Amino acid sequence: MRATDVDIPPNPSDATLVEERRPTPALPFLGRAPEAFMRLVFREDRFFLVLSVFIGIFAGLSVVCFRFAIAWCRIYLLGSGATLTPLRMVLAPSLAGLFIAVLVIHVFPLARGSGVNQTKAALYIYNGYIPLRTAVGKFITAALAIGSGHSLGPEDPSLQIGASLASALGRRMRLSRDRMRLIAPVGAAAGLAAAFNAPISAVLFVIEEVIGRWTAGILGSVVLSAVSSVVVMRWFLGSESMFRIPAVQMERPTELIAYSVLGIVGGLASVAFSSGIATLRPWCKALPRWTQYFQPAIAGLLIGIIAVLGAPQVMGAGYVYIDEAMHGQFTWQMLAILAGLKIIATLLSFVSGTPGGMFAPTLFIGAMLGAAVGGAEHVLFPHLSGSLGTYALVGMGVLFAGFLRAPMTSVFMVLEVSGNYSIILPVLIANTFSYLISRGLQPTAIFDVLTRQDGLELPSMEEQREEGTLRVEDAMRPASRAVLDTVLEAHDSLDQVLQRWDAKLPEVRLVRLDPTGWSIITRQALEIMVKEGKGNLTLGSALSGRQILFLHPDNPLETALRYVDRWPLLPVVNRADFRKLEGVISQQDVLKRYQLFGEEEGTPE
């Protein structure tokens, strides 16, 4: 939409428009320092950026402490060795589960679950409010759960801890409602980035799954907080990747077929995993309240039994074993078994309400499944050049895309974790297959399933992405000969125009001004001007200063809606040539199109 040189009738919103467009000097504080400088820095939007850095620092420090806490819980509950004793494997998750249940039920009721939806709810429902108590609760219960061997990860809790800290900070700062709403996702990005040691993925995930829109202001804050939290985390824990990244190879393009197979298998596994959660979670929640005290303990007991029976790898986040899988330390059959058992173990932990994240288990399942598929393919086709590590890396992205339904994040996550751009093609192919299969078989994404099960109606980012957008071209009347014949030119004199304006022509007509710009004139206004003795004037000089807005065919229809009530008719012009009329649009056209759209789509619930 072109809005410059517009004669807009005065109203409050227009005033704002004018204010925002007033050019600002590049360095305004130079003239009136120091007050101007302070004014510049402490404007709320800029102060929000400064605050984002602090949020990142605090979130980073909290995540570092969280990692320490998990490690200590692991050492003291499961033992310090690589091989765990059967007794500890069974007792630690069971007893920890019992304790966690008491804490969650009586002290930290909001600490239940992964934390992504709670952050989203803070953004859309609670005006950015997440109690600090939730962060404390999440910290304690998730550290206990993961450290004792529950099949959950530290990323989503870190995300919630970051969001909760940010929210507390925002409340202290008495930020405006708009900023308060955004502050939780900013903290979430910081928490996730520190937990994942991957700032790009964290930023993308928060934008893609929590906020759902890109603007410079949001992006700036989210990036600043993510970067500062990662810097803090790396200061304390080092910058090594979570896994030793194997060499990535792909000698022949035909090998993409092998990765497509991985995408299909990953998509089906994602559906199985998310269907399991979608089915079992409400069932567990529907059980009598007293059983909630025992659900995490029973989940822990069953995970312990799986571990004792020969798969201790399913306990905890399992990053060590992802690393081992990447370096060919399991047979493909064992990898497939581990992927299956991890799905079961994570289902048990998650549906029992044990606090903890799903990112790490998703990566674990993906890595195992990827390496298993790669291993099996190598048996069938020994000439394949991709190492098991490459398949494991791609597999992680596949599950991320299929289960968490974050397609862009999944691609960048693998790139960021592997630090190798040559893996891009396999990742893109496999992730696309996985995402499409998952979407096809289970239309609702897992995070949306979870929020609906909790009785909340949060906007689904996936559904938003899929939603059709109405554009001006959908509602405008195209510039047919009949329409074009009604357009007046600036060089026509008022007398001439009035003489030629017969009763068949519309009451309102567009005027094409020189060199660019459009205006409108009614027959009545023309008659008045002629009566006033302005008949010799051209339309251009008579209407100068009365330009109207014009639109482009690809402008969203809602943009048109903002202006169509001010003028009876608006021109829709070509983007390359503003004098070329593509169509005309009026308020009636817009409303008619919306009415039609409602009938096509059905009324939303």
Distance CA 413, CA 400 (A): 9
Question: Quick one: 173 or 298, whose CB is closer to another protein?
Answer: 173
Question: Quick one: 38 or 505, whose CB is closer to another protein?
Answer: 38
Question: Quick one: 71 or 591, whose CB is closer to another protein?
Answer: 71
Task: Tell me the residue ranges of DSSP E strands in 495-568.
Answer: 508-512, 518-522
Could you list the residues that contact another protein (CB under 8 A)? 35, 38-39, 42, 47, 50-51, 54, 57-58, 61, 64-65, 68, 71-72, 75, 80-83, 169, 172-173, 232, 236, 238, 240, 244, 246-247, 320, 327-329
Question: Quick one: 72 or 214, whose CB is closer to another protein?
Answer: 72
Q: Which two tokens stand for residue 425?
A: 């093609």
Q: In angstroms, what is the minimal distance from the CB of 145 to another protein?
A: 19
- Cβ proximity of 199 and 227 under 8 Å: yes
Question: Quick one: 113 or 154, whose CB is closer to another protein?
Answer: 154
Q: In angstroms, what is the minimal distance from the CB of 35 to another protein?
A: 8
Instruction: Name the helix (H) or strand (E) containing 329.
Output: none
Instruction: Name the helix (H) or strand (E) containing 452.
Output: helix 446-453
DSSP letters, 96-139, are HHHHHHHIIIII-GGG-S-SHHHHHHHHHTSTT---HHHHHHHH
Q: In angstroms, what is the minimal distance from the CB of 464 to another protein?
A: 34
Which residue's structure tokens are 């997440």?
130
User: How many alpha carbons fall within 13 Å on the CB side of residue 176?
Assistant: 7
Q: In angstroms, what is the minimal distance from the CB of 54 to another protein?
A: 5
Question: Quick one: 61 or 105, whose CB is closer to another protein?
Answer: 61
Distance CA 392, CA 371 (A): 5
The type of residue at 27 is L
Distance CA 143, CA 151 (A): 12
Question: Quick one: 247 or 482, whose CB is closer to another protein?
Answer: 247
Which residue's structure tokens are 């008491």?
102
Q: Cis (ω within 30 of 0) for the bond into 556?
A: no
Q: In angstroms, what is the minimal distance from the CB of 83 to another protein?
A: 5
Q: In angstroms, what is the minimal distance from the CB of 440 to another protein?
A: 37
Q: Which two tokens stand for residue 299?
A: 């989940």
Distance CA 282, CA 450 (A): 9
Distance CA 184, CA 96 (A): 29
DSSP letters, 375-414, are HHHHHH-TT----HHHHHHHHHHHHIIIII--HHHHHHHH
Q: In angstroms, what is the minimal distance from the CB of 42 to another protein?
A: 5
Question: Quick one: 87 or 320, whose CB is closer to another protein?
Answer: 320
Q: In angstroms, what is the minimal distance from the CB of 245 to another protein?
A: 9
Q: Of 204, 201, 187, whose CA–CA distance to 57 is shortest?
A: 187
Question: Quick one: 217 or 282, whose CB is closer to another protein?
Answer: 217
Angstrom CA distances, 1 to 545, 551, 568, 590, stand at: 19, 5, 18, 16
Question: Quick one: 61 or 261, whose CB is closer to another protein?
Answer: 61
Q: In angstroms, what is the minimal distance from the CB of 81 to another protein?
A: 4
Q: In angstroms, what is the minimal distance from the CB of 456 to another protein?
A: 32
Pairing status of strand 508-512 against strand 488-489: parallel
- Cβ proximity of 368 and 332 under 8 Å: no
